[in-house]
Amino acid sequence: MPDAKQTIASRAGRELEDGQIINLGIGLPTLIANYVPEGVDVVIQTENGGIGVGPAPEPGCEDRDRANAGNQPITLVPGGSYFDSATSFAMIRGGHIDATFLGTLQVDEKGNIANWIVPGKMLAGMGGAMDLITGAKIVYIVSEHCSKDGASKLMKQCTFPLTGAEEADVIITERALFRRHPDTGWVLEEVATGFSLDDIAGCTDMAYAVAADVKLDAFGA
Partner 1 sequence: MPKNKVIPIAEAMSHVKSGMSIAVGGFIGQGDPLTLIDHLKTMDVRDLTIYENDAGYRERGVVELVRQGKIKKVVASHIGTTPEIGKAMNEGRLEVEPTPQGTLAEMMRCGGAGLGGFLTPTGIGTIAEEGKQIIELNGRKYILVPSLKCDIAIIRAHAGDTWGNLIYRGTSRNFNVPAAMCADYVIAEVENLYTMGELDPNAIHTSGIFVDAVVRANVEYCTLREEKFNA
Tell me the C-alpha to C-alpha distance, in Å, between residue 77 and each of 33, 57, 211.
13, 11, 39
Decide: is 165 part of the binding site for partner 1 (CB under 8 A).
Answer: yes
Q: How many whole angstroms separate alpha carbon 154 and alpha carbon 107?
A: 5
Per-residue x/- mask for partner 1, residues 33 to 72, rule CB under 8 A? Answer: --------x-x-xxxxxxxx----------xxxxxxx-x-
3-state SS, residue 15: coil
Decide: is 115 part of the binding site for partner 1 (CB under 8 A).
Answer: no
Decide: is 134 part of the binding site for partner 1 (CB under 8 A).
Answer: yes
Catalytic residue among 47, 109, 167, 190: 47
Decide: is 202 part of the binding site for partner 1 (CB under 8 A).
Answer: no
Spatial strand order of the sheet with 76-82 comes to 76-82, 50-53, 43-46, 21-24, 99-102, 138-142, 170-172, 176-181, 185-191, 209-215
Decide: is 143 part of the binding site for partner 1 (CB under 8 A).
Answer: no
Decide: is 92 part of the binding site for partner 1 (CB under 8 A).
Answer: yes
3-state SS, residue 33: helix
Q: How far is the CB of 114 from partner 1 (least distance, A)?
A: 9
Q: How far is the CB of 25 from partner 1 (least distance, A)?
A: 12
Could you list the active site residues?
A: 47
